[in-house]
Amino acid sequence: MMIQYSSSGEDLPRQEGAAPVAEEAVCAIVVNWNGWRDTTSCLQSLLDLDDAPLRILVCDNDSGDGSVAQLRGWLDSHAQLRIVPNAPAEWRTRGARVHGPVIIRLLSLERNLGYAGGLNAGIRWAERHWRQSFFWLLNNDVQAEPGALRALIESHARVPEAGICGSVLMDWDHPDRVQAVGGIYRRWLGVGVHATELSATGPDVCLEIDYPVGASLFVSNEYLRRVGMMEDSYFLYYEEMDWVERGRREGYRPVVALRSRLRHKEGASTGSRGGVRHKSLLSERYGVINRLRITRRFWPWYLPLVWLSLWAVAADRVVHREFARAAMVLRLMFSPRLWMA
């Protein structure tokens, strides 16, 4: 099988007489924003998998660090991406590549659509140009361990009402330490916390979570048809909780595949690696706005409590002499037009 890589942004023609794409194929979508080094590491881990027929789509969210050129250069020069010897001439001029059962494509977006927006753009492109039964949606700051995709496929199949299926995330610096199995959502505060206990509800499957952590989400075409795509107006944070809750109201259950493991640089893709004291202003902003938005959308009776809890957030920023952050939190609290939409 082939990697088809187009650096020109044009669609690659299908070879005459080639076998159709398998219906069980998976499309992995990786969103990049000013993080090409992490993205190439992620891509290498995906190329090393031999779990299932895989198509990879990298969506660049209008990066300003030269990511598109760097990613094209990596794909062009990488030792494991070689010219297809028997491909038609037009494929060779457009940069077709081969690497086992994988097709890879770089899609450059004209503006930053946020995490969900970048994923949705990739899903739409793949639905127009490829055929697949499942999508694997990934942060760029992860590395898949061997068998990660196969475990997702098998665990999803074991649960008849499975909705979004997540992976177990391992700490980047301490890969033997569990970073998150899934998320537990505290509705009265509007915050999620990571569950780290590896307790199986069934064979290699965990159902006792409120949502899978968004760094790795495995979803079927059926789920997309019934529930719809991710809500991209969140831009950053809370979009996976919104997606899971919409699915739950359609009868789906969130699942975690306990044998699907990925190392994760938590916060690297948003510039907030290192915990709350190192959060970027962008992360702080959307953390506050979307905390209120999702509460109002699904659990409006908790909105007064969630709003009041943000006073504690502002006070914490003052205690740590982060006065600009405290002012921003208060300003957002008193700007309902931002979170009532």
Per residue in 78-124, pLDDT (tens digit) is 645 544 444 434 333 333 344 455 778 899 999 999 999 999 999 99
What's the pLDDT at 18? 34
Contact between 304 and 189 under an 8 Å Cβ cutoff? The reply is no
What's the pLDDT at 87? 40
What's the pLDDT at 75? 87
Query: Each residue of 278-288: b (16+ CB within 10 Å) or e?
Result: ebeeebbbbbb
Q: Which helix (H) or strand (E) holds 247?
A: helix 239-248
CA atoms of 341 and 338, how far apart (whole Å): 6
Of 41-55, 59-73, 123-137, 231-245, least confident by mean pLDDT is: 41-55
Of 36-50, 51-65, 110-124, 266-280, least confident by mean pLDDT is: 266-280
Residue of 88, 127, 106 lying closest to 30 (CA atoms): 106
> How high does pLDDT run on average in the chain?
84
Measured CA distances, 71 to 33, 245, 247 (Å): 12, 35, 34
Of 14-23, 55-64, 152-161, 220-229, least confident by mean pLDDT is: 14-23
pLDDT in tens, 254-310: 999 999 999 999 765 555 555 566 778 888 999 999 999 999 999 999 999 999 999
Helix pair angle (281-298, 303-319), 10° resolution: 160
What's the pLDDT at 8? 34
What's the pLDDT at 244? 97
Share of the chain residues as helix, strand and coil, in percent rounded to the nearest 5: 40, 25, 40
Contact between 76 and 7 under an 8 Å Cβ cutoff? The reply is yes
In this prediction the pTM is 0.85
Does the structure show a pLDDT above 90 at 163? Answer: yes
What's the pLDDT at 199? 65
Does the structure show a pLDDT above 60 at 230? Answer: yes
